[in-house]
Amino acid sequence: MNDSPRNRKGVTTISAKEKQLLSTASAPIRVEPVQARSTARVNALLDAASETMHDLGYEQLTTAMVADRAGASIGTVYRYFPDRIAVLQSVASRNLDRALNVLKASFRDGGSSTLEGSLDVAVDALVEVFRTEKGFRSLRVGDVLDIRPVASARGGNAEIARVIREDLEQRQGVLLDSNARLAVETAIDVADALLGRAFLHSDRGETSLIAEAKRVSMLAVSGVTH
């Protein structure tokens, strides 16, 4: 089985066909890991993929690399993932779940009743995920792949924005109008891009770019009515 074609510089690229595969709503895992041992094996493969992406980026990831890093056979990889696209999709989904869990915990510990305060908490939560999740700086929650339009799959940044809105509306009693909701989504897109740059070559993140992510994301929601 072949992975994505390489360009002249030897870097694996995402083809149009692969983007279409990523945008499907079907589960990327070939065999549902119903047993604890299978679940552990899938997580080990995803860990291996994440560690490889941390070192090389998602563009160069291959199923052979995943197998080698996990100490598994290539057949084991294909037992759970039909191709490298399914691996990327699964890592992005896991990244999103973990980011949302950190975000929700942050709101429980210190939520804010203002948009600006909520964005401050959200950016801090995302910084924590960047620092603790291997491969997050490369793939993040999958939006970096630019696989839109997506018919029914979750949009990563949109899900993060939804959690922020729900915390304000349900826990803080702050009602957001359509402009405010759009502003939150815009703020998260901006923060994602700047944090991606902040962690491009640093495991801890460049302080100035992290601060800029906070400043610009809060600026995106300043002055909106709610």
Greater confidence, 39 or 225?
A: 39
In contact, 126 and 118? CB cutoff 8 Å: no
Of 85, 100, 132, the last residue of a domain is 85
Peptide bond just before 149 cis, omega within 30 deg: yes
Count how many domains the chain has: 2
Of 60, 85, 110, the last residue of a domain is 85
Q: Based on the domain organization, do 167 and 69 belong to the same domain?
A: no
Q: Rounded to whole angstroms, what are the CA distances from 204 to 33, 53, 94, 96, 142?
A: 34, 16, 21, 20, 21
- What are the tens digits of pLDDT across the range 7-36? 434 444 445 544 444 444 334 666 555 577
Any domain includes 202: yes
Q: Which domain holds residue 103?
A: 92-221
Give the percent of the chain with pLDDT over 70: 80
- Phi and psi at 28, nearest 5°, equal -75, -20
Q: Based on the domain organization, do 141 and 203 belong to the same domain?
A: yes
* Average pLDDT rounded to a whole number, residues 175-201: 94
Any domain includes 183: yes
Of 65, 85, 105, the last residue of a domain is 85
- In the block, residue with structure tokens 């074609």: 5
In contact, 102 and 129? CB cutoff 8 Å: yes
* Average pLDDT rounded to a whole number, residues 90-117: 92
Q: Based on the domain organization, do 113 and 211 belong to the same domain?
A: yes
The CATH number of the domain holding residue 20 is: 1.10.10.60
The model's pTM is 0.81
Q: Based on the domain organization, do 163 and 63 belong to the same domain?
A: no
Any domain includes 9: no
Q: Based on the domain organization, do 45 and 104 belong to the same domain?
A: no
Any domain includes 7: no
Greater confidence, 160 or 38?
A: 160
Query: What is the pLDDT confidence band of residue 163, given thresholds at 50, 70 and 90?
Result: very high
Q: What is the average pLDDT score of the chain?
A: 84
